[in-house]
Amino acid sequence: MTRRTRSPWPDRIAVAKDLILFGLGTALIAWQGFVVPPRDLNLSVMIFGGVVAGAPGMVYLWQLQRESRSSIEASPSEDLPPPSELPSLPSSGM
């Protein structure tokens, strides 16, 4: 029976890839947190940085943000009748 040894290169490549992605994700988070003015903060970029960095729970937050953005983009006026058709509330005598 012959023994085969594994090459260390795939492990080194995986480690290098993980370090690069972690560095890029952390840089995106730090850039949004420390460089960008608060009024220009983009939560999507910050969450994407967490996804790229591999932070736990960030993929879930990314999905929540995408779902909330799609529900906001849907026109809410389609669900509500025009203001003239809304029932009026009885006025209280106070």
pTM of the model: 0.59
User: Residues 6 or more apart from 27 whose CB is under 8 A from it?
Assistant: 49
Largest CA distance in the chain: 97
pLDDT band at 20 (very low <50, low <70, confident <90, very high): very high
pLDDT attached to residue 37: 93
pLDDT attached to residue 85: 57
Over residues 29-83, the pLDDT tens digits come to 999 999 999 899 998 899 999 999 998 888 888 888 888 877 776 655 555 555 5
Backbone angles phi, psi at 81, to 5 degrees: -75, 165
Average pLDDT, the chain: 79
Rounded alpha-carbon distances, angstroms, from residue 30 to 13, 41, 46, 69: 25, 11, 8, 24
pLDDT attached to residue 79: 55
